[in-house]
Structures are given as structure tokens and as C-alpha cells.
Structure 1
């Protein structure tokens, strides 16, 4: 594939059982490019290998005084030079293409998996690992894929030269073969140790990257509590561990390189000494001695390629394992892509659900127009076309339920983990390359590790899918599910860029950006953005938003995120506490606007604010994981004590927490 044809229309279904399997899959996917690179590599290396033979012919022609043979040798030398030059040029071109296309394939796969997992990605994998995989790891994987063809070409030509030496001059050929065997037996035992040290370096670098990412994300909090120096010292220690690991790795590779220089040098001395004695005794010609000497010198080139390939594989193996862990994650609790038999993935078995739906029916007719949203696990039913408020009491329960309503199912728990006290895998205790320790709960790493060891995948417990009408959400094509149900969590992320870019999202066209901003009561936010962005020229839509909106207050970020969600205008909008950082007056106006702008659309709001609850068409109460009551806000406030305690923060004796706090403060002042 040519670089100008990127990105791939279909990057394929990766074999994510392990890093090794993933690298093999990448090689198979790029067999055409590898074949081209191998062909040009054979031409290039063959041309270099032929130079000693032609030079030997030329020298022998000079010794014997044959002008015709010298002319033939000169012509052959020119032809070999052209072949070697063309081969080298095209080898570099095809090898770099293989590198870039392999990296692009991995990047596409990671981008698609990230888009599929959404907010659940960072719940399963540490943010630092995602950053490491999407940056440095991709380059190392591409390096390994690119070096395969060059190493293969060098290996094939080296074998041919070795066999030719034995046939051409048996004594010197056998001496060279014995010397190369000693060289390999010396280097090969050093490679596993170098690989382990490279794995440790990669693991330490990943931890340092994760620490740096977490520190930057929480910089405002760190400054607020005066913890900058504490985390700076932690990062210093982490960076020093990376430095020490890198030095140990460099020392091992330096030792391997020293062996590759010293032993071939000794081999050359032995060949020259023994060959000179044979030439003096008249058993070989001078030209033959020069040919053998040149061939031995040529064999140093494939040895360099062998070292490069060993380094590329050592550094790419942990990178590929990290990429495979991310690619092995799934949006739902469907079967893990690993196979107990250890065989390659079945293409039919791994066909995506999106392909199956697109082949079987028109996606526009998948979901009925006016469909209620129902969660079988909690019994929560959201009436289509209305504004439904859900009261949970526990913000964490509300967040998980909101994610479920959007089809974002949390990481499945294993059977052992579901039992009291069960903890089959410790997330902190990873393997040498960190394959088990980087995911936050270790379950994804456990499944990959089981497959690597030939065990059956770890069993998971399936949860019933949320249904939209009669259609389970986790059976919908991903694009359809995302376009139908949109979830805005309680801590929304604003991407850097202009306000126009922030609101440039897939939309139905029913709600304009101006209407969405007005409904979210963003007037003061627009003024603040204009003041902080002189380059906008007074146009709020051209004003810049910093990374994650850190220059804005929490309430301002919430309102901009709400405006973005309203512009999208999905069939079902799920909002998790969208006004928690907004004052009461603004919250009341947002609640009224939300009801108006979402007329005819299904809206679910998780909150416990009376201002929002009073404007909802229906209110549902979730207690101990089940929907236990429904009605209007006033009805539940009057008839349901549990609901009243959550909404008014009423204590068991009938008073509210605010009243108790005021009474306690008054008593303290009087005393």
C-alpha cells in the first residue's frame, strides 16, 4: 500500500492475544510491502556480496595478465554497482513505507477502539498507558515491522555466501563457518538479558509518563494544596529509575556490539593468516584469497542487521503487548478475542456487529421512533419524549447507571471477583513487561495472560443490556447507538480550540448553536471567553478555549458542555448532574430551558436538586440498585420518606441537615 492511500478503508481485525501475536498479525497484513522490500533487499545485498567475487576476478586477471578477463571484471563491477545502488534506494523507500503504513494501521486501530470505548477507556486502562501506546509505542512497532524484510534479505544472502564459500574454497569456507557459529553462540545468550532490560526500561518509562500525565491533569489541585514539590520529587525519582534502566540496557547492547566487532575481527585475522599460508604454498590463487577476504568482510553487514532486528524486536515486544491490551478491550461483555485453542482468530467469528447489521438491514429502521428506554437490571423505565429525573442518592451509583443507559457497560467482573473477598488478580502485580499491572482492575490483562499461557479465558458475568424499545443497546451498531443515546457525565471534558470548533459536532440540525448556548445560559461564559481571547475580535465563536477548559470555572464548563450536548440533539440525552456547579437562579432557568428545547425528545437527568426535579415530567427513585418509586416531585416529596431524605437532606428525626447545622452554629455562638 502506498502512503498517499492512507488511511486504510479497513485496518482489519487485530490478533490481540499477546504482543507477539499482534506483531505477527501486522506482518501478515503487510505481506505485499514486505515482499517488495525483501526483493529489493536481495538485490541490494546480492550486489554487495558479488563485489568480492568480481574483485577477485579482476586481481587474478592482473596477476595472469589477461586484459579480456579484466575488461569482463570491470563490466561486471559496474553492473553490480548499479544493481546495488538501485536495490539500496528502493529498499529504503519500501522499508520506510512499511514503517509508516504499519504505524498508521496501529494508530487507526487504537483510534477506533478509543472511540468505541469512550469514557470507559480510562476506567480500564491508565491514562499514561494510553498516551504511551499512541505515541512512542507506535514508532517502535513500526520499526520492528520495517526491519523484518531487511533482516530476512541479509540472512538469505549471508546463507548463500556461506554455502558458496564452502564450495569455492573448502578450507577457508569451513573456517569462516566455524567462526560465525562461535559468534552466534556468544551473542545469542546475551539477547534474552538485553530483552529483559529493555522491558524494564519500557515499564519504568510508562510509569513515568503516567505520573507526568496525572500531575499535569491535577496541577490546579496540586497548587491549591501546595503539593507541587511532592509530586515533582516523585517524578524526579521516576525519571531517575528510567535513566538507570536505560543505562543498563545501553550497557548490554554495547557489550553485544563489542562482541560483534571483536570476534569478526579475530575471524578476519584467522582467515588472512591461514589464507596467506595457503597462497604461499600455491594451494589457492591470490584472487581467490581476495575473494574469501571480501566475502568475510561482507558477512559483517548481515550481522549488523541481525543486531538491529534483535533491538527492534526487544523494544517493540512490550510496546506491542501494551497496544494489544488496549485493542483487546470491548464495549460490551462479549467474548474476549482470545481463543483457548491458541489458534488464529476466525474471521467470521470476529466479524464486527456493525458489519452484521449493515449487511442485514437498513440502520435507520433499527430502532422504533418513539421507544421507551428500559434498564432490566434496575427496572428503570424512561418514557419516550419526556423529561425524566432520576434520584439515586449515591453519585457513584448515578454515574454508573447513566453510563449503562448510554450502552457504556463497565468492565465485567470475573466470577471470583463477584464473590465476597474475591480478588483473583492484583492490578499492581504485573509481569516483566507490565502486561498485567497497567490496567486499572487487571481483568483485561488477566484474560490476555490466560490466553498466552494456553488457558481458557477467565469467565465473565454478563449483565442484561439496556433496551431502547425492543432493541438491546449493545446489539446496535456503534454509530447508531452513539447517535441515538448521548451521555454527558458529571465531569465533562472540553477540548482545546475555538468555541465554534467545540460546537462543531454531529447534529440533527434542529437546534442551532445560538439556541443551545441560550438554553444553557452561557451569556456570561461568552463574555469571559471574549475578554480572555483578544484575537477573537469580539466574536465569541472565535474565542479560544484552553485545554479541558481549565481557564473557566466549574459552572462555566458545565454549561458549555450542556450546550454542546443540546446542539447534538440526540433522540435520548442522559445528563449526570449537569448543574451541580451552577447557582440556584441559573439552575432554575436552565431547567426551564431544558424542558422547552428538548420537547418531543427523551431526556434523563440524574440529580437531587428540587429546582430541576420540580420541572421534570416524571421522577424515578433508585434505592439499593432498584427503581422503587415514581411520580411527580411534589407527590414523592409528600408520600415517600426515602425520597424526601435525599432531596431535602432530612435526618431521621425529621429535621434537615441545614437546619441542624444552623442550630449547632447558633448554640456555639451563644455559648
Structure 2
């Protein structure tokens, strides 16, 4: 695999049982690249290590006044230099290729896992850890994978040079053979402590990343409550902990590096001292002494790769462990699908709560617990509960469908949808049935003012707003504008069943009323489920389902439930029991039970939001009268 061939057609099925097994799996899947790097590494290190023999031969030729051997030594030296240049160039090329392709493979695996798990991923693994794995950890894993081949080439070269020294000059070669294992193994007692410090640094860095991610995600809320300074202090403290841990880790690695410099120097001193005595005795010649001395000095270069592989493994092991933990997560279902890859049709039913969304109807769901509503929305999207309960579409369990078929059948838009950067045309270029055009979806989502704002703020988009650019996560747009664009994107897909979780929570009431009518008209004949407590949406639903303590408590239409179900009225109107009791005691006997819409102004500020509520509870007939006025205005 070459860099230009990325991404992989299929990154494979990883061995995620442990970090070490995952690293070994990556190595095996890059065996061709590893062998190529090993071959070029052997050429490079052998050429470098052969230079001392050439130098010794040249010096001995000068001492013996042999022009022929001097010319031979010069030719061999030129050949070694050419081999060194060629091997180093292609070793670097092969090593970088192994690094990048390994990192790309891991990133593809993580992306595939994220797509498989969906929103369940961040509930099972912290968002900051996912970010750390997909960024810094991927790089460290790639570093270890590519370092293995260079280390292997260096180790083989050292063995060959030691054998050559024993054959060339046994007296000094034995000293080198006895000293080199000490050099290679001297740092082993320090590696566990260095590894532990590196693990602590990675753990603290992951926590700091998670804190930064959460802070950025909630920046608007923090500004609203004046909590920026508090979270800034928390992140500053976390950052300082990372710095202290990094310094402690660096101290240990600097000690290991110092030992790697000190011990070869001591070995070199011992070789020179013993060699000088042998030269004085006439046992060896000057050229042989220079050859052995130069060889030992050159061997410090491949020996440095022992330190590198130890460092690479120490840094990549916790990274591989985190990556394996994420990759080991499984969707609680048969991901391959045990049924045919066909899109079912029919009623959408959740056995855990008893929720039934009839086929082709607009069903609104009211739930007082947002967490329960979120879990229910995920089950309706094909993610079973921890108990293994799965929603059914047309009587077919969604977890028995292939993942692609399940997501084609049911689309879930969560309450905080993400807008990717790019043009509006690219944003709306999603897999779709083709039955709903972009214009119809934008109109149903009431995006006219959003298109005008985007066209005004983007160069070259005056003629066609679809060419307007959207910044990362739509940060230049208000909350209501982002919600409406995300809603339009969901409507374009035209799934068999569409599940919307609070799709208009940041939209003003007049726009919300028009959105309700637009969605109802556009989704006519298709199954639509909306989780909401907005009277405007509830009043336009074909049927309303009220969930209490995780089970269906009442089913009907909004106005009927408002009059007959006190618990439903309390959730929708935000009315307390004391307010309900006081109002009922004060109400005439012939007046129906009363209720009020949600209190407070709803909107994102940028859209001139108005609301049904003004902080004062209203009677039921006031609510209905207000709804009729909004209908006429819309």
C-alpha cells in the first residue's frame, strides 16, 4: 500500500483484544512494507558499518605502502557511501509510508466504528478520549509500527558487525561482543518507570483534552451564565498537571538517553585501551586498531534505535490500548444483519415503552425525562438497549437488519445536530430517495431568511445561495438557523421513518408554527416521530403519545390530553401541582380543566423570537385561541 492509494478499500477486522495484539495485527497487515523497510535499512546500516573496515584497510595500505590496496579501499569506500545514500533515502521513504499507512488504517477503523455505534459511542467512551485516540494516539501507533523495521535492521547489523569483528580481530572483537549486550540491556530496568510516567502523562493529557472539548461545546452556555473564568481555571490546572507529568516523563527519558551515551563511551575507552596494549606488543597493526575503534564508534548509531524502539513502544502501548478499547466496542446487535438487505415498511414500535408510531402518520411524543427520550430515540434508530430490546419496523427488529438497511429505513436527528463545513450544496448532498428536492426541504424547514443571511455573508453566493459557505459546525449561524438547516437535511433524505428530537427548541413560535405545517405536508404518507413539548408541534400531530416513567401513559390528540391528563399538562405547560390546585379551586365548575403553554420566551435571539408564554399561566381556552391566531397568521 502506497500513500497515493489511501484510503484502504477495506481496513480489515482488527484484533482488539489488547493493545499489544492490536499492534501485532497492524504489523502483520503491513508485512510487505515492513520487509521493504527492513531491506533498505540493512543496506543503510551495513554501508555505514562497513566504512570503518574500509578506513582501516586504507590506513594499513598506507603503512605498508601498497597502492593497489589503497585504491581498493577507496573503491570500497565509494561503494559504501553510495549504498549509504541509497539505503538512507529509501529507508526514510519506506518508513514514512509505513507510518502514514498505519495511522490511516487506524483512523479508518475508528471512523467505521464511530459510524457503526453512532451516538452510543460517546455514552460508552468519553468524547475527549475519542478525540485523543483519533489524533495523537494514531500518530504514536504509526510511529511504533514504522520503528519496528528500522530497529530490526539495526539489531541485525549489530550482530553482523560483531561477528565480523571477531573474525577480523578476535582479541578486540570479544571485548565488543561482551560489552554490547550490556549497552543494549542497561536501560531495561528503567523502562517500567519510564512507561508508567508516560502512561500518567497520556492519562492527564486525555483528561485535559476531554475538558477542553466539553468546554468548547458548551461555550455559549458558559458565556450566558458567566462561567468562562471558572472553566478556564479548571483547564489551566489540568494543563499544568499535563506539563508536570511531561517534565517527569522527560527526565526519565533523558536519563535513558544519557546512559545510551555514557556506556558506549566507556566501551570505546576499554577497546582503545586494550587495543593500544595489543598494538605495542605487535599483536595487531595500526589499521586493525583503527578499524575496531571506528567500528565501535559507528555502532553507537544503530544502538540508538534500541532507545527509540523502547520509547516508541512505551508511548504507543497506552495509545494502542485506548484504540483497542474503542475498536472492541460492539453495536448490541448482529451488525452484518441476519435478514435480507431490504428496507421494511410499516408501524414503528418500541417494545420497551410500548410506543407505537403508525405507518404514514405524524406522531408526537412527550416525555418529561430528556434522558429517557434520548434513549428511546436511539432505540428507534436501530440501537438496542442494554437489555437487548430493539425497536421494530413493520414487525421486523431493526437490529436484525444490515446496518445500511436499518439506517435507510429510520433516520434519527438528535437534539444537537452537527453541520459540517463547506457549501450549503455540499451540506445537503446526502443519501436520499430523490423524492424530496432541496428547495422543498428548505421551504418546509422555513430557511428563507437563513438562505438570505448565508448569501449575504458569502462571496460569490449572491446568484445562488446553495454556493454559500457554512463555517465549521455552523458557528456563524444562530441556534435556530442551525436547527432549520439540519431539519432540511433530514427531510431531503426522505426515510421510511423520520425521528426528530426537539427539532425546533431554538426557533421562535411563529416560525415553529410554519415549520410544523411544512413538515406535516412534506411528510404526508410517511412515518414521522417528533419528540417535543411544544404546543405548536403537538397541536399539528395526528396523534400524541405521553410517556411517564419510561412507559406509555396516554395516547390521543394534544387538545384532548391537555384537558384530560394532568401529568401531560404539567409537562407541556411547566405548571406545578400547587399552581394546578390553585387554578382548579378558583375555576368555575362548568369550566373545563385549564392549562398553559410553556412559559418564557423561546428563541435564539437572532430571529426576533416571540413566544406563547409571557411568564403567566394561561387558561386552556386562551391556549387554543392563541393557536388559532398563529394558524391564521401562518
Q: If the length of structure 1 is used for normalisation, what is the TM-score?
A: 0.82
Distance 1:116 1:637, change over 3 A: same
Matched-pair contact (CA < 8 Å) for 2:452–2:465: yes
Q: Determine the C-alpha separation between the residues in 1 that align with 2:19 and 2:522.
A: 49
Shift of 1:539: 4.0
Q: Determine the C-alpha separation between the residues in 2 that align with 1:161 and 1:30.
A: 28
Q: Determine the C-alpha separation between the residues in 1 that align with 2:411 and 2:373.
A: 15
1:181 correspondence with 2:156: no
Q: Determine the C-alpha separation between the residues in 2 that align with 1:281 and 1:494.
A: 82
Which one scores higher on RCO, CA 8 angstroms, separation ≥ 6? 1
Distance 1:649 1:48, change over 3 A: closer
The corresponding residue for 1:353 is 336
1:379 correspondence with 2:374: no
Shift of 1:333: 5.6
The corresponding residue for 1:510 is 435
Shift of 1:144: 0.9
Matched-pair contact (CA < 8 Å) for 1:387–1:603: yes
Q: Determine the C-alpha separation between the residues in 2 that align with 1:149 and 1:278.
A: 38
Matched-pair contact (CA < 8 Å) for 1:490–1:578: yes
The corresponding residue for 1:19 is 19
Equivalent pairs, count: 589
Gaps of 5+ in 1: 335-351, 413-461, 665-671
Q: Determine the C-alpha separation between the residues in 1 that align with 2:240 and 2:553.
A: 55
Shift of 1:247: 1.8
Q: Determine the C-alpha separation between the residues in 2 that align with 1:331 and 1:183.
A: 49
Q: Say which is worse superposed, 12-21 or 605-614, in terms of deviation.
A: 605-614
Q: Determine the C-alpha separation between the residues in 1 that align with 2:316 and 2:97.
A: 18
1:211-267 alpha-carbon deviations (Å, 9 max, x no partner):
222222222222222222222222222222222222222222221111111221121
- Residues 372-411 of structure 1: matches in 2 within 5 Å? 372-409=347-384
The corresponding residue for 2:224 is 224
Q: Determine the C-alpha separation between the residues in 2 that align with 1:227 and 1:637.
A: 38
- Residues 261-276 of structure 1: matches in 2 within 5 Å? 261-276=261-276
Q: Determine the C-alpha separation between the residues in 2 that align with 1:534 and 1:395.
A: 40
Gaps of 5+ in 2: 585-592, 600-614, 619-634
Distance 1:71 1:663, change over 3 A: closer
Matched-pair contact (CA < 8 Å) for 1:371–1:468: yes
Shift of 1:634: 4.7
Shift of 1:155: 0.3
Q: Determine the C-alpha separation between the residues in 2 that align with 1:662 and 1:367.
A: 48
Distance 1:557 1:4, change over 3 A: closer
Q: Determine the C-alpha separation between the residues in 1 that align with 2:459 and 2:60.
A: 80
Matched-pair contact (CA < 8 Å) for 1:380–1:620: yes
Q: Determine the C-alpha separation between the residues in 2 that align with 1:166 and 1:68.
A: 26
- Residues 87-166 of structure 1: matches in 2 within 5 Å? 87-166=87-166
Distance 1:463 1:293, change over 3 A: same
The corresponding residue for 1:420 is none
Matched-pair contact (CA < 8 Å) for 2:562–2:595: no
Name the SS of the counterpart of 2:349 in structure 1.
strand
Shift of 1:649: 5.3
Q: Determine the C-alpha separation between the residues in 2 that align with 1:610 and 1:246.
A: 55
Matched-pair contact (CA < 8 Å) for 2:6–2:101: yes
Matched-pair contact (CA < 8 Å) for 2:569–2:595: no
Name the SS of the counterpart of 1:265 in structure 2.
helix
Q: Say which is worse superposed, 473-482 or 7-16, in terms of deviation.
A: 473-482
1:183-218 alpha-carbon deviations (Å, 9 max, x no partner):
334321122222222222222222222222222222
- Residues 186-225 of structure 1: matches in 2 within 5 Å? 186-225=186-225
Matched-pair contact (CA < 8 Å) for 2:383–2:390: no
Matched-pair contact (CA < 8 Å) for 1:520–1:593: yes
Distance 1:409 1:551, change over 3 A: farther
1:566-606 alpha-carbon deviations (Å, 9 max, x no partner):
11111110011222333333333222221211122111112
Distance 1:281 1:625, change over 3 A: same
Matched-pair contact (CA < 8 Å) for 1:377–1:463: no
Shift of 1:635: 4.8
1:526 correspondence with 2:451: yes
Q: Determine the C-alpha separation between the residues in 1 that align with 2:70 and 2:515.
A: 93
Shift of 1:662: 4.4
1:367 correspondence with 2:350: no
Q: Determine the C-alpha separation between the residues in 2 that align with 1:635 and 1:235.
A: 51
